[in-house]
Amino acid sequence: MRFLLTGGTGFIGQRLARRIVERGDTLTLMVRASSRRGPLEELGARFVVADLTTGAGLAEAVRDVDCVLHLAGVTKSREPEGYIEGNAKGTRRLVEA
């Protein structure tokens, strides 16, 4: 199976990424340009730089995947709109892609 994982550089995402690769599945990790990829680069996964806020790169991220595992999300914001933009609207952009 071909998976796209958002939030793969986070605590849970890194562990899930490893399990996906251990199972023998194909993995694409959607990351920010500033994301630290560190040990994830050793997995042999494909990385796609994309942005849930602007939608940039989402079409490339979802290309040729069977399943999207969406763990990315805003956990800190000074204003409620930051959570809405990053979580609700960002998820909508991903689904639409």
The total domain count for the chain is 1
pLDDT band at residue 20 using 50, 70 and 90 as cut-offs: very high
Its domain, for residue 78, covers: 2-96
Q: Answer yes or no: are the C-beta atoms of 7 and 70 closer than 8 Å.
A: yes
Single pTM value for the model: 0.91
- Give the per-residue pLDDT at 37: 85
> Can you tell me the distance from the alpha carbon of 13 to that of 6, in angstroms, rounded to the nearest whole number?
8
Look up the CATH number of the domain holding residue 45: 3.40.50.720
Helices (H), 23-57: none
- Give the per-residue pLDDT at 38: 83
- Give the per-residue pLDDT at 35: 83
> Can you tell me the distance from the alpha carbon of 47 to that of 66, in angstroms, rounded to the nearest whole number?
16
Strand partners, 68: 4
| Tens-place pLDDT, residues 26-83 | 999 999 888 888 888 889 999 999 999 999 999 999 999 999 999 998 889 999 999 9
